Amino acid sequence: MSVVVFGSINADLVTRVDRLPRAGETVSALSVAELPGGKGANQATASAMFGVATRMIGAVGSDGHAGMMIAALSAAGADTSAIARLPGPTGTAHVCVSSDGENQIVVVAGANALVAATEAWPGRAGDICLAQLELPVAAVGAMLAQARRAQALTILNAAPALAEAALLLADVDVLVVNETELAFYCGDAVPADPEAAIVAARDFLRRDGQWIVVTLGAAGIVAVSGDRTLAVPAPKVSVVDTTGAGDTFCGVLAAALSEGQQMESALRFACAAAALSVQRIGAAASMPGRAEIEAAMDLVS
């Protein structure tokens, strides 16, 4: 089976700083770089690098960033034939990364704001539909509904957190959020520990068979479905840059599930991949291939 990613395509303008600026403060940059990014493109890259057939559906503009993004996705092994080229700018993300690996990100939608769902599900029954929320919510909802009617497995990374996205949950088989996003959708405080995240996630389940996966950074991940609970620890690694770690996780999770892996196995592959990605600079540029992920699997066993 294959993974169809419906999502954003951005050029990441990454500035490294010693520390992130406070409100109203100016700091000096250590370096600046233009790198491929966008939650959709990042997740498609991670999926393709895991070695499964991956199709990217989205849009770029008519500027110089467009060719760079399509070339980067193609180089990772993703099918780019369904990417639209629209008049105007490609989406951009302005990223500041501190020396301890934390980041601040401002996204300019560009062509992403004009993306609409395809008229029919472009994949097959049993394929994976992977979406995020950097495209118009109505378009994301239409794509998820099409995919579910066609008996595809639907995965939504509900980020950035948007109130209207709660209406999409009926068509989501696997919801992936971090602890802050979970708190936003549940209308509660950020979970203080994995046990609190499990309670909040179980309260957020909307139907039988649905999975809620919560990424907890250094505390690993928890996942719930009905009365089942899974927990996977995060490997202890030296963090260089957390940008794109969540996208790496989602892309590899989708890829592993597309191979027919059970949820626990897929989560372990995704955790290992995310741990590798935070040890390098960039989002798509930091993503590991399958052989490297398999070599790191003993860290999450």
Report the catalytic residues. 247
Q: Is 178 annotated as a binding residue?
A: yes
Across the beta sheet with 228-232, what order do the strands follow? 83-85, 54-60, 3-6, 128-131, 153-157, 174-178, 211-215, 221-225, 228-232
229 is in an annotated binding site: no
Q: Are strands 10-17 and 128-131 parallel, antiparallel or unpaired?
A: unpaired
Distance separating alpha carbons of residues 258 and 129, to the nearest angstrom: 10
Is 84 known to sit in a ligand binding site?
A: no
Q: Is 218 annotated as a binding residue?
A: yes
Confirm whether residue 215 is marked as ligand binding: yes
Cis peptide, bond prior to residue 21, ω within 30 of zero: no
Q: Do the annotations mark residue 217 as ligand-binding?
A: yes
* 236 among annotated binding-site residues: no
246 annotated ligand binder: yes
Q: Is 181 assigned to a binding site? A: no
CA 78 – CA 53 distance, rounded (Å): 7
Q: Is residue 203 part of an annotated ligand binding site? A: no
The three-class DSSP label of residue 278 is: coil
Whether residue 103 is annotated as binding a ligand: the answer is: no
The reply, when asked if residue 280 is annotated as ligand binding, is: yes
Q: Max alpha carbon distance in the chain (Å)?
A: 52
Distance CA 93, CA 87 (A): 19
Instruction: Using the structure block, give the residue that is written with the tokens 């990772």.
Output: 76
Q: Do 254 and 155 form a contact (C-beta atoms < 8 A)? A: yes
Separation of alpha carbons 205 and 209, rounded Å: 9
Is 220 annotated in a binding site? The answer is yes
The answer to the question of whether 28 is labelled as a binding residue is no
Rounded CA separation 191/73 (Å)? 35
CB 11 within 8 A of CB 91: yes
| Binding-site residue set for substrate | 10-12, 38-42, 134, 247
| Binding-site residue set for ATP | 178, 215-220, 246-247
| Binding-site residue set | 10-12, 38-42, 134, 178, 215-220, 241, 243, 246-247, 277, 280, 282, 286
| Binding-site residue set for K(+) | 241, 243, 277, 280, 282, 286
